[in-house]
Amino acid sequence: MDSNNKTALIAIGGNSLIKTGERGTLDEQFKNALDTARNIVKMVQRGWKVVITHGNGPQVGAALIRSERASSEVYTHTLDMCVATTQSEIGYLLQRAFYQSLKEVNLNLPVTVVPTMVVVDPNDPAFKNPTKPIGPFYDRKTAEERQKKLGWNIVEDANRGWRRVVPSPEPLDIVEFDVIKSLVESGVVTIALGGGGIPVYFNNGKIIGCEAVIDKDRSSALLASKLGVDLFLISTATDYVYLDFKKTTRKPLTKMTSDEAEKYLAEGHFPAGSMGPKIESAIRYLRNGGKQVLITSYEFIEDGLEGKAGTQILL
């Protein structure tokens, strides 16, 4: 893929920071961030201008637990504040990782983190129907105990255990869009929209934070559309998008159209707790004027750009 003066939005998933089976220590997270950054820097070497967005499910869950357990000694954090703190926490890890990765290949480019607010509707039905999983996985007994003690809403997630769920309203606009656009056009490696963005709404000229978490793939699709990027790259835990994933009949998809993706989604191939939001977001981006989506694991980004790995989705 010719990359002269092309732009890409790269939405990195949880496996880019905390892999299955890891405790999620800061050392583990930095090592994983460095592995991810090194693969994205290969794109930068080819001339791509990039903006990186990221999830924060485990981190925001940990931030909430810290806040709750320390509530008798220090002030607590609301959910929007936890999103804000994890944007800085993860952004800092990624910023260090990108600086190191760029230096390793003798590229002298600035790297910056943009704490990002995303506008939502305070009357969005999502606030009455929490669905977004955050934090660690629990066995059912532990999750139910936390439900009773802390008032959590819980759900079984992707057959890996039980998690807390919170409201996930629709992203409508990005407050810092002009700043992000200017940085990306200037060639700055830009890390933004962490955790889907800090959910806010406007009320008589004031910005009000919300107790919610926005799906990072949906807000990434919104930012990708508004920026008009040439490539929306979704980095996830698998090398391809699969039909019948986790079944003996599973089949990797190398290419599909947005119509085919919508058909497979309706047939139940892409569960809500895993690939579903990524496919929905890919469709949104393409139908809002987007050019190309690539879904793959960060290890296969370079091969994916050459059509040797990953799933390409076109309009």
Interval 241-293: pLDDT, tens: 999 887 888 899 999 999 999 999 999 999 877 899 999 999 999 999 999 99
What is the C-alpha separation between 268 and 260, in angstroms, rounded?
Answer: 13
- Confirm whether 63 is domain-assigned: yes
pLDDT for the residue numbered 157: 80
Taking only the tens place, the pLDDT of each residue in 161-186 is 898 888 999 999 999 999 999 999 99
pLDDT for 104 beyond 80: yes
Q: What is the pLDDT of residue 59?
A: 87
In terms of Cα–Cα distance, which of 209, 262, 206 is closest to 84? 209
CATH number for the domain spanning 273: value is 3.40.1160.10
Mean pLDDT over residues 302-307, rounded?
92
Rounded distance between C-alpha atoms, residue 290 and residue 284, angstroms: 8
Per-residue pLDDT band at 3 (split at 50, 70, 90): low
Residue 243, domain extent: 7-123+172-314
Q: How many helices (H) and strands (E) does the chain have?
A: 9, 17
- Residue 237, phi then psi, degrees to nearest 5: -85, -5
Q: What is the mean pLDDT of the chain?
A: 92
Q: Is the pLDDT of residue 310 over 80?
A: yes
Q: Are residues 273 and 287 in the same domain?
A: yes
Q: Residues with catalytic annotation? A: 14-15, 132, 216, 278
Residues 157 and 184 in one domain: no
Q: What domain count does the chain have?
A: 2
Residues 112 and 134 in one domain: no
CA distance 140 to 156: 8
Residues 58 and 144 in one domain: no
